[in-house]
Structure 1
Amino acid sequence: MYKRFNNDILNQLQDAPEGMKIGSTDVTSPTCADDIALLSQKENDAQILTNTVHEATKKDRFSINASKCELVNFRTTTKQLAIPTVKYNNTNIEVVSSAKHLGIERNATNTPDPPKPKLSKAEKEKLKAEEEARKAEEEAEARIKAEQEAKEQKQKEQEEEANRKKQENEEKKLRYKEMTDLNGLLYSNRDALQELHTERRKKAKWDRYMLCDGSPDPTNLGEINTYINLRLEDTAHDDVESVFKTSELDTALIQELEFLLEDTPPEEMPLEKKRQYEQTKEELQALIKKKMDAATFHLLEEATDRANPETFNLQFSSKSPDVCLSVWGNLSKNPRIKSFEFVEQGLTFEIPRVLCLSDCAIRVLDPKYDHYSPTCKSFYPRQKKKPEPIVEASEEQKEGEEKKEEEGQGDNAENEEAPEREPTDLLAALKELEEGPKDEDEEGEEKKEEVKEEEVVEYVDPPTPEPLEWEDFDEDEDVVDLRAHDILGGVFHFDLMTLPPQPNTLNKWVVTRLVDPPEIQYMDYVADYLSQIPKENTSPTQDQKRDEKPPIGITMKLPSDSLFSEEPVIARWDYKKRNWRQDGFSDLTYDEDNRIFSFKTGYFGMFALLQDSHLNMPFQSWELRPHKTNAAVLTIIAAIVEVEIEIKDALCCLSKPEDRPELDKIRNKWVTPKELTKLMKLAGINLFPAPDSSKYVSIQNKNALVTECAYEQMALLSSAIAFSWSKWNGEMETSDKVLFQGSEALEDEALLEDDWKVFLMTKKRAMKLQVTEFDETFSEDLAENTTFKSNLYNLMMSQCSEEAKERINGTSFQYVDCVEQILKATKVLSYS
């Protein structure tokens, strides 16, 4: 009843003897904001408290209107008593049932109601009927409302489903169109490329047929067999110069066969013809070896005539583009000779005392080819073969299955004769009786909605190939795994041979003891520490010292055209088991600055220098940047070297590094991608993972189908769009998502960091992401104002400029194929 908070009046009311208490707590004057409620148990006390408030308003100079005050009467008795009267400033305060703004409301259970008159039986039944009718009406209304809401909800869900289906169908249509257009472009390029190569092969075949230089056709079995037989029978031209000259032709014929085996499509190369070419190649290789041995024997027979006038020993060296032959023959038997150097080959070897006193010769044959490794077990990747389970059912099982089938047929016949009655849904039947049969139009509309589904032809992706599994290397630890090592600089023969009898002059006669057959005889030499068990407390005699066979020390200068990025691995060829072995070597030293490698060996034979095949894998980064139309450069920063490969039209070349003289012969040499791959591997830069390289390198295990499609589409766009590695590609756990950076690049200059954008490519989508290389967390949110496309090609074409589109559309299919081959050979998306 008070309109302004006043602490003094509250204290005065609390101290008054009138009022009300609950236990020991005074509740006379509770407040609510600026209102006061006066509580009392007696009518007189309520009047006294009201007067106290009225006197306080006079002091406070504030007036309260009696009409704004309310009186709520509470009684705990059911007796009918007179309603009390309380006045404020001689004005009666209105009696009300509640004062909700103060939280006061009279409890109906405690307030007596006037007695109700008794109802008759008819009135009671009438009221009951009315109540039941009201409830039935409410239930009907609720049911109708629920049905209406359910219908509206169903209609809403159908509309949402229809919109979703429509959107999906639109996406399917768009994807089908985009993928069909892309495949049409790829297929047209492949058809043009296939036609070009077919014509090239036809022309090469015709040119070979019309060639009249006297060389045999290695594909013509009659010609090549005649050529080989005539060479074997011709012993009059077994001198070194003649053999070198004819061996060049033999090597060219072998290379021609190797090219045909690689270049000819499988459908044009029957298995029988393939075996014929391989056999011819092996026969030519055997012919080269036989003729080199014949030339060496011819040289040894003339050792006395060719003896050095100072040392009185045979010292011969001769070199051709394919091979270098050096021979030292011991004619003087000078025990003071400790070593000899072949200057032409940059190789120095020690000569033990036992050899200084014997009729022996040492040959160093250094060909630029390796005909032995392909015969090794570990040369080719070996895929694991999955066993195919063969389940053979026994006769008893077959009879049991036949009986079950007969029993099943009998049961089906009985079921057809006495079909089961379908259970009747009573609730649904009663509901149908109440609501009446469904309108035929509604049923027809529902059926139309169900039937009306647009048939969309969906693009079918090719199946993802299963990851291949490879067999483990199961040889002993001394055997070299050629899947993990590359031979650099070719192989070299370090052979110990018996010096044939030299001619002697007797009066006017020259007497020579003939050797039959006229072939070189190899001498057995195995270092003592490898062939004998040392005896304790024994000192060697003078004769034993003379017959000692210590390991042979060899110091060689590394081949000038091979880049060794680490200390070479030396291995020897095991002729019996046909593999390379690392045992039998000691005291290995490597002078990297002068490129000199030294070691000691307990064996003579064939040796090779090897290097880790995956030394430069995985790559640190890569970038494919366009120069202009049909020209680009691929930069790969590998683990040790940084390489640039220039691509122009159908050819490519290695342009960097420029500071390595070992690469001078192949640098800026324009060749096909396959030829460049071979040249770089032979030179010691292997950036081309093999099918089983994942066994030896920790890589990003990416979906093969996604990466293959990415390489194809990058090649199509590479005249105007630059691509680069992304750190997010390595942090993406799933293999179906490939990430890289991309940017339009029309100027022939390096791009800024802000120019690059991150792209995500999956089997069905390609999109530009909002995330950058400098963000700390990855997000697949799309970049602003962009949408996803079904492939990378359409995505880039929808975002690039008109000038970029002109470049891309003007790209030749030969250039696209060249870029695609380089990307697929380096596998930058998986090996970076």
Structure 2
Amino acid sequence: MSANKKRDKLSKVEKKKLQKEEDEQRQREEEAARLLAEQQELKRQEEERKEQEEHQRLELKDRERREDELSELRHLLDEMQNAVARWKDEASAKTKWERYMQCDGTPDPSIPQEINSFISLWREDTEVQIGSVLENCSLAQRLIEELEDLLNDTPQTAGSSSDTHRHQETILSLQELIHSKRNQATEEILKWSRANMDIETGNMQTVIQDADATLCLWANLNKNPRFKGYHFHEAGFGFELPKQLAVSDVAVRILHTRFDHLSCLSAGAHRISQGSIKSEESHPSTGEVGDEDTEQQGNAEESLDHKDEDSVRSETRKSFASVASEKEEKNARHDKEPEEQRWGEGRRDSLQEDTAIAGERDSYSPPEAPVTLVETEVVDLHQYTPLGGVFYFDAFRIPPQSQLVNGWDMRELSDTGLQRFPYPVDESQLHSSTSRPLDEGGALVSPPVGVTVTVPNSVVFPQDPQVARWDAVACQWTRESIGIITYDTSLKKISFQMDSFYPFALLQDMHINMPFQGWELRPLGLNAAVLVVTAAVTEVHFTVKGHRCMLSSATEYELPHVLGRWMSPSALQKAMRRAGVNVFVSEHSGKYVSINAKEPLIEQAAYEQMALLSCAVAFSWSRWNSHCGREQLVVQACEHLEAGPVPEKAWSLYLLNAERTWRLRMREQSESFSTALDGGSEFHATFLHMLRDCMGAPGHGRVRDADPFFVDCVLQLLMATRVLSYC
């Protein structure tokens, strides 16, 4: 027992000893850990101090050279802009000279005397044969497009507001004349309907096409009550009529124009009105001054000259809203105005007449028709755009036909012109004894009319096209009164019903390709580059060489009239928008697309510097651009002088803001965002100087030798796509 107790006692002593040793060991370890932590903290603080000192040194260095770098950048941009401006002026002068030397009678739409003479002579021309009319309409459409390009390329300044207003008035006059001449040609064809009757159907039908329009015309001569509709196989268009129209003296026209002359009436009138207000504020009317000076001189003849000149000047500054209220005043001085200044007045009167005719039809309140209507909705042209032109779906009264009497071909003469056939109609307007159902109010219940069109091959619809018809009273596109829409994807045919005859168009969301999924700008050599934009639906490749660019590829789309064709940036944007492949933003796009909005001035400065370096440096999108806030940009970039794709390891991240630019330590694959400066790098006031520090002699040579026109072309594409905000 005593031995066991002794062993237990020794064991307790040993335990205490072991415990003491363990405590001492733990204390030594804790002390060592504390000393190590202190050393590490001191080292960290020393590194932070050195890093802060280096950071301050680099900031001081950046501030010292900031003005020089900014001045150099401004100088480079000014040189580029001045060179481009001189080149555009020379190109414009050369174009005018070539037009003058052609001597083909084609007017210059920017010269008032020439275009006014053309409009006056064409308005007075009595030629109504369809071939000649279509030829003149094509010429007028080219003049319209030339004026539209001129308006788009001309900066809006106080001095150019009167020219802008005059060009817009000219466009409206040409559009009205095109519409009027086509109606006259349609009337001429219908006058000879019986002579051109198809023996098989007993009716007259014809299809006439040119590069700008397709005219499908059908005249109901047989009045077969079992008639359901007709399909123009050559054009891919067709229509369906209710029995009430099948037994009436009615002609149906489907006129498809490749251009859109209606949307501008909805959105353009407001712009013209605003321009007029600015013009009036900037340029007060000189009429009173001229009259006062004339009265002081007492020269009546000179007073008349002043009044004529002032009336012309004020006429170009009037908004469309004020024209109607001043109509009486203009009629009073009509005899005093030169003929070339009076064509605009006829245009407005004609527009009012057309609107009144359409309003008479649209104001008629038809009974409820057996058709499921789309929810009433006005089309927002900032969100949707008509594609493939406009389809004018009209019904007309058949003009009096010629009759052979005693060997004489006699025809009743009428000066009413082409008359619309009102539909829905009341009972007195139909020429048939067939009984018809009436509602409680005695009005005729009119079934809807159907129409089928083939989507033009010149446009693409990633989604099923929407349909809208033109409201002539409100001057807007609307989905009201359209129902039972069906779309055959394989045949690209769309069919629907309307309660009456209206112009209609096929719509697509302008922002279906936004926001972008990625982008890359890569050099292809001196004055050559490729911009790849991976959009929501397609991927497009833009190739830039010199002052021109082209759409080199667009996945899943076949657009032979756009792909592979060298154009100016503005012409390419216009062609792609018309084709339905839109990757270009507008001032309103941010309202309809969820974007990573950036400060506009910072974004524009980035595009300018990227364009200056685009023949030697590759740029790409970064997922961290959406993590750095509105005031900063994050872009991947690297020098790239060889052909082919950029290796993944070659990319570096750069952060840009209003103060400076620097290379980031982090990589695209990093797990978290950090603004830490990369080792061995410096701060620079501009992206241009930041990247030039990383370039070799060959890259510097390319940037120095870059053509200003190439730089401007790349800049226009970047500004049009705005990849830094929309990706």
Out of 804, 809, 820, the residue aligned to residue 699 of structure 2 is 804
Q: Deviations over 1:90-148 (max 9, x none)?
A: xxxxxxxxxxxxxxxxxxxxxxxxxxxxxxxxxxxxxxxxxxxxxxxxxxxxxxxxxxx
Distance, in Å, in 2 between the alignment partners of 1:381 and 1:300 is 39
| CA-CA distance at 1:170 after TM superposition | 4.0
**Preserved CA contact (<8 Å) 2:550 2:563:** yes
Identical-residue share of aligned pairs (%): 37
Would the aligned equivalents of 2:377 and 2:479 in 1 still touch at CA under 8 Å? yes
Distance 1:618 1:284, change over 3 A: same
Q: CA distance change for structure 1 residues 514 and 633 in 2, over 3 Å: closer, same or farther?
A: same
Match of 1:791 among 664, 686, 689: 686
Correspondence for 2:447? 550
1:178-577 mapped onto 2 (5 Å cutoff): 178-235=69-126, 237-266=127-156, 270-377=160-267, 478-517=377-416, 519-526=417-424, 542-544=435-437, 549-577=446-474
Q: Secondary structure at the match of 1:647?
A: strand
Output the amino acid matched with 1:245.
E
Q: Could you tell me how far apart the structure 1 residues matched to 2:55 and 2:636 are?
A: 32
Q: How does 1:165-180 map to 2 (within 5 A)?
A: 170-180=61-71
Instruction: Find the residue that maps to 1:270 and give its secondary structure.
Output: helix
Q: 1:550 to 1:579 in 2, by over 3 A?
A: same
Check conservation: 1:379, 1:483, Cα contact below 8 A: no
1:735 and 1:379 map into 2 onto residues whose CA distance is: 35
Picking from 484, 488, 512, the partner of 1:591 is 488
Aligned to 2:524: 627
Task: Give RMSD over aligned pairs.
Answer: 2.8
SS state of the match for residue 564, structure 1? coil
Shift of the alpha carbon at 1:224? Answer: 2.4
Any residues of structure 2 matched to 1:660-739 within 5 Å, and which? 660-661=557-558, 663-732=559-628, 734-739=629-634
Give the AA of the match of 1:498.
R
Q: Distance in 1 between matches of 2:199 and 2:130?
A: 21
Q: Which moved more, 1:632-641 or 1:373-382?
A: 373-382
Please give the alpha-carbon distance, in whole angstroms, between the structure 1 residues aligned to 2:56 and 2:655. 25
User: 1:304 Cα deviation (Å)?
Assistant: 1.1
**Local SS of the residue matching 2:436:** helix
Aligned partners of 1:571 and 1:582 also within 8 Å:
yes
CA apart distance, 1:710: 0.6
Say if 1:701 and 1:735, in contact at 8 Å, map to a contact too.
yes
Residues 471-525 of structure 1: CA deviation (Å, up to 9, x unaligned) = xxxxx961100000011001110001111111122231222111223x1101121
Match of 1:618 in 2: 515
Cα distance, 1:806 vs structure 2: 1.6
The change in CA–CA distance for 1:380 and 1:695 in structure 2 (over 3 A counts) is farther
Deviations 1:678-729 (A, max 9, x none): 0000000111111121111111111111110110011111111111110001
Aligned amino acid, residue 822 of structure 1 = L
> In 2, are the aligned partners of 1:650 and 1:815 still within 8 Å (CA)?
yes
CA distance in 1 between counterparts of 2:537 and 2:462 reads 8
* 8 A contact 1:373–1:379 mirrored in 2: no
CA distance in 1, matches of 2:78, 2:264: 35
- Quick check: 1:643–1:656 contact (8 Å CA) kept in 2? yes
The Cα shift of 1:162 comes to 13
| Matches of 1:197 and 1:232, distance apart in 2 | 34
Alpha-carbon deviations, 1:614-660, whole Å to 9, x = none?
11110011111111111111111111111111111110111112642
Query: For this pair of structures, how many residues does the alignment match?
Result: 570
Q: How far apart are residue 259 of structure 1 and its match? A: 2.2
Name the stretch that deviates more: 225-234 or 562-571: 225-234
The answer to whether the Cα contact below 8 Å between 2:165 and 2:272 also exists between their aligned partners in 1 is no
Question: Could you list the runs of 5+ residues in structure 1 that have no partner in the other structure?
Answer: 1-7, 12-31, 34-160, 385-475, 529-540
Residue 282 of structure 1 aligns to a residue in which SS?
Answer: helix
TM-score normalised per structure 2:
0.75
Q: 1:617 is matched by which residue type in structure 2?
A: M
Deviation at 1:377, TM superposition (A): 4.2
Which letter does structure 2 place at the counterpart of 1:203?
K
Separation in structure 1 between the aligned mates of residue 270 and residue 523 of structure 2, nearest angstrom: 36
Please list the CA deviations of residues 247-297 of structure 1 after superposition, one character each: whole Å capped at 9, or x if unmatched.
111112212222222233445963222222211111111111110000000
Looking at structure 2, the residues matched to 217 and 808 of structure 1 have their Cα atoms a distance apart, in angstroms, of 40
How far 1:586 moved relative to its partner?
1.1
Aligned-pair CA distance for 1:345: 2.1
- Supply the AA of the counterpart residue of 1:215: T
1:752 correspondence with 2:647? yes
- Distance, in Å, in 2 between the alignment partners of 1:526 and 1:368 is 29
Is 1:771–2:666 an aligned residue pair?
yes
Q: Hey, what's the Cα distance between the residues in 2 that align with 1:721 and 1:162?
A: 32
Counterpart AA for 1:487: P
TM-score scaled by structure 1? 0.65
1:526-581 deviation line (CA, Å, top 9, x unaligned): 399xxxxxxxxxxxx94339975211222221111101011111001111110001
Counterpart code for 1:485: Y
Tell me if the contact between 1:238 and 1:298 (Cα under 8 Å) persists in the aligned partners. yes
Q: Which has the larger radius of gyration?
A: 1
Q: Is the 8 A contact 1:379 1:482 kept in 2?
A: no
1:378–1:481 Cα contact (<8 Å) kept? no
Q: Which runs of 5+ in 2 are unaligned?
A: 1-5, 10-19, 22-51, 275-374, 427-433
Q: Distance in 2 between matches of 1:508 and 1:383?
A: 59
Q: Once the two structures are superposed, what CA deviation does each residue of 1:376-423 show, in whole Å capped at 9, x if it has no partner?
A: 148979999xxxxxxxxxxxxxxxxxxxxxxxxxxxxxxxxxxxxxxx
Q: Secondary structure in 1 aligned to 2:388?
A: strand
Alignment correspondent of 1:814 = 709
Matched to 2:636, the amino acid is Q
Q: 1:215 to 1:269 in 2, by over 3 A?
A: farther
Task: Indicate if the aligned counterparts of 1:304 and 1:314 stay in contact, CA closer than 8 A.
Answer: yes
The CA deviation at 1:582 is 0.2
Superposed CA offset, 1:176-210 (max 9, x none):
11111121111111111111112222223333344
Of residues 707-716 and 545-554 in structure 1, the stretch that sits farther from structure 2 once superposed is 545-554
Indicate how the Cα distance of structure 1 residues 803 and 300 shifts in structure 2: closer, same or farther if over 3 A, else same. same
Distance 1:599 1:374, change over 3 A: same
Residues 359-389 of structure 1: per-residue CA shift (max 9 Å, x gap): 00000111111111111148979999xxxxx
Answer yes or no: is 1:609 the counterpart of 2:500: no
Q: Is the 8 A contact 1:381 1:691 kept in 2?
A: no
Q: Is the 8 A contact 1:625 1:633 kept in 2?
A: yes
Measured in 1, the distance between the counterparts of 2:643 and 2:215 equals: 49
> Counterpart of 2:541 in structure 1: which amino acid?
E
Larger relative CO (CA 8 A, sep 6+): 1 or 2? 2
